[in-house]
C-alpha cells in the first residue's frame, strides 16, 4: 500500500498524536472483549479444561467438530436453526416494510403518531417479560386457548407440542419488532423525492402503480442493506428467546444451534465442544453475509462494502 509510507506515518503522528492517545481505551476495549475471545476460540481445537488453561490443554485437531457432525442432534439442530431463520426472513423481514408503507399512506397525523407509539412499545419490553407473557398466553388455560375454545376448538398446551413452536416464535417476534423495524423504512420513505410522485401521477399512475414504481425502488437500497445485515446474523438469532421459551418436550423443533451451545457450554461446561459448535455457527454466519453481499453487489449494485 502506497498510502502508508514512513513519511506519511510520521506526519500523521505529528498531527494526530493526541487523537490517537484519546482512542487508546477504545482500542484496548476491542482488543480485550472482541479480539481476545476470537483468539480464545482456539480452544475449539483443544481438549480444554480450566485447570490446565489455554496454554496447557492438549490439541485435538478437529475432534470437537467431528463429534458435533456425528452427534445424533446435528441434523436436527441444523434443520431447526435454518427453518427458524427462514421463517423469520420470509415472514418477519417484509412485515416492517409493509407496516411502514401503510403508515406512510396515513393522512391523519394523530392517528399515525399513536399507531407508531403503540407499535414501538413491545420492543421496549424485556425478553424475559415477553417470554413470561407468551408462556402464560400459551397455557391450555391461557388466552390463546380461550380464543380457540371460543371458536369451538380443542384446548392444546401450545408450548408442549413441537408442532407450534416455530409459529409461536415467528409470530411473537413479528409482534415484538414490527413497529421498531418500520422506523428505518419510514425514514427512508420520507427521503423519497416528492417530485417523482408528481411526475408519476401526471403520467396517470394510480396509488398502487406509484408504490410499485416510485416508492419501492426509492427505499430499495435500504431494504437490501437491511437484508444483508439480517443474513449476517441469521444463524445467531434467537437464542435468548429460545432458551426462555423451550422445554424438553419441544426440543424437536425448538432446539437450535445457539441454544445448544448455551446448554453444552454454560450449563454442562463442556467448553471446547461448545466453542467448536459456536465457531461452526459463526463461520456459516460470516459466509452467508459475504455471499449475500456479493450477490447483491452483482445484481442490484447495493452492498455493504
Partner 1 sequence: MIIALNDVIDQYCPNLKKYLEENPDIDRMVKTDNGTYFAFPFIRGEERLCFTVGSFLRQDWLDELGLAVPTTIDEWHDVLVAFKEKKGASAPLCYDYINFKGSNPFAFAYGVGTANNSSFVLDENGEIAYAYARDSYRDYLTTMNQWYQEGLIDADFATLNGDQVTAKMTTDQAGASVGWAASRMQLFMTTAQAENPDYLLVPAPQPAAKAGETPLYAYAENRFPDVGAAITGSCENVELAARFLDYGYSEEGHNLFNFGTEGVSYNWEGDRAVYTETITDNEDGWPIAQALAKHIRANYNGPFVQDLNYLEQYLQLETAKLCPETWGVATAREHTMPPVTPTEEESKELATIMNELGTYVDEMALKFIFGTESLDNWDNYIRTLENMNLSRALEIEKGALERYNAR
Partner 2 sequence: MKVKKSTGERIFQVFNYVFLTVITLVCLYPMWHVAVASFSNSNRLMSHTGFLLKPLGFSIQAYIKVFENPMILKGYLNTLFILITGVFADLVLTSIAAYFFSRKNVLFKKPLMLLIMFTMFFSGGTIPFYLTLKDMHLIDTRWGLIIPFMISTYNMIIMRTSFEAIPESLTEAARIDGAGHITILVKVILPLSKAILAVMVLYYGVSIWNGWFWATAILRDREKYPLQVVLREILISNDSQGMNAGAVGDAEAVAQSIRYATIMVATVPILLVYPFLQKYFASGVMIGAVKE
| Residue 60 contact partner, candidates partner 2, partner 1, none, CB within 5 to 8 A by sort of partner | none
In the complex with partner 1, which residue's Cβ is closer, 57 or 182? 57
Query: How many residues line the site for partner 1 (CB under 8 A)?
Result: 27
70 touching partner 1, by CB under 8 A: no
Smallest distance from the beta carbon of 88 to partner 2, in angstroms? 18
In the complex with partner 2, which residue's Cβ is closer, 3 or 298? 3
Among 112, 123, 135, 297, binds partner 1 (CB under 8 A): 135
Q: In whole angstroms, what is the distance from residue 66 CA to residue 63 CA?
A: 5
CB 229 within 8 A of CB 236: no
In the complex with partner 1, which residue's Cβ is closer, 188 or 264? 264
Alpha carbon dihedral 280, 284, 74, 80, in 10-degree steps, equals 140
In the complex with partner 1, which residue's Cβ is closer, 273 or 280? 273
Among 25, 72, 152, 204, binds partner 1 (CB under 8 A): 72
Alpha helices in 44-193 (DSSP H): 53-56, 63-69, 74-87, 94-104, 109-124, 127-138, 143-150, 165-189
CB 88 within 8 A of CB 173: yes
Radius of gyration of the chain (CA): 25
CB 284 within 8 A of CB 258: no
Annotate each residue in 248-277 with x if it binds partner 1 (CB under 8 A) or - if it does not, as one string. xx-xx----------xx---xxx--x----
Maximum Cα–Cα distance across the chain: 81
Q: What angle do CA 159, 284, 31 make, to 5 degrees?
A: 105
Smallest distance from the beta carbon of 153 to partner 2, in angstroms? 13
Residues 230 to 249: which contact partner 1 by CB under 8 A?
247-249
Binding site for partner 1 (CB under 8 A): 49, 51, 71-73, 135, 138-141, 155, 157, 159-162, 247-249, 251-252, 263-264, 268-270, 273
Amino acid at each position: 500500500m502506497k498510502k502508508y509510507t514512513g513519511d506519511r506515518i510520521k506526519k500523521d503522528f505529528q498531527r494526530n498524536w493526541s487523537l490517537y492517545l484519546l482512542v487508546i481505551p477504545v482500542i484496548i476495549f476491542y482488543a480485550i472483549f472482541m479480539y481476545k475471545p476470537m483468539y480464545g476460540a482456539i480452544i475449539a481445537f483443544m481438549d480444554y479444561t480450566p485447570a490446565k488453561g489455554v496454554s496447557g490443554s492438549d490439541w485435538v485437531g478437529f475432534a470437537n467438530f467431528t463429534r458435533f457432525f456425528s452427534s445424533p442432534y446435528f441434523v436436527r439442530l441444523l434443520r431447526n436453526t435454518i427453518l427458524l431463520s427462514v421463517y423469520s426472513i420470509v415472514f418477519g423481514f417484509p412485515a416492517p416494510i409493509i407496516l411502514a408503507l401503510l403508515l406512510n399512506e396515513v393522512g391523519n397525523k394523530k392517528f399515525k403518531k399513536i399507531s407508531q407509539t403503540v407499535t414501538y412499545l413491545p420492543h421496549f419490553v424485556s425478553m424475559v417479560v415477553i417470554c413470561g407473557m407468551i408462556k402464560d398466553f400459551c397455557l391450555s388455560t391461557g388466552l390463546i386457548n380461550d380464543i380457540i375454545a371460543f371458536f369451538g376448538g380443542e384446548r392444546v398446551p401450545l408450548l408442549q407440542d413441537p408442532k407450534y413452536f416455530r409459529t409461536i416464535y415467528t409470530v411473537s417476534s413479528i409482534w415484538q419488532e414490527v413497529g421498531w423495524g418500520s422506523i428505518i423504512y419510514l425514514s427512508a420513505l420520507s427521503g423519497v423525492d416528492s417530485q417523482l410522485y408528481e411526475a408519476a401521477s401526471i403520467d396517470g399512475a394510480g396509488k398502487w402503480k406509484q408504490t410499485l414504481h416510485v416508492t419501492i425502488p426509492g427505499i430499495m437500497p435500504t431494504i437490501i442493506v437491511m437484508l444483508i445485515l439480517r443474513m449476517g446474523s441469521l444463524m445467531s438469532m434467537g437464542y435468548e428467546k429460545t432458551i426462555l421459551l423451550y422445554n424438553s418436550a419441544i426440543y424437536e423443533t425448538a432446539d437450535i444451534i445457539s441454544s445448544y451451545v448455551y446448554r453444552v457450554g454454560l450449563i454442562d461446561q463442556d467448553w471446547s465442544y461448545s466453542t467448536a459448535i459456536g465457531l461452526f455457527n459463526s463461520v456459516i454466519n460470516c459466509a452467508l453475509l459475504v455471499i449475500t453481499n456479493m450477490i447483491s453487489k452483482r445484481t442490484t449494485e447495493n452492498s455493504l462494502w
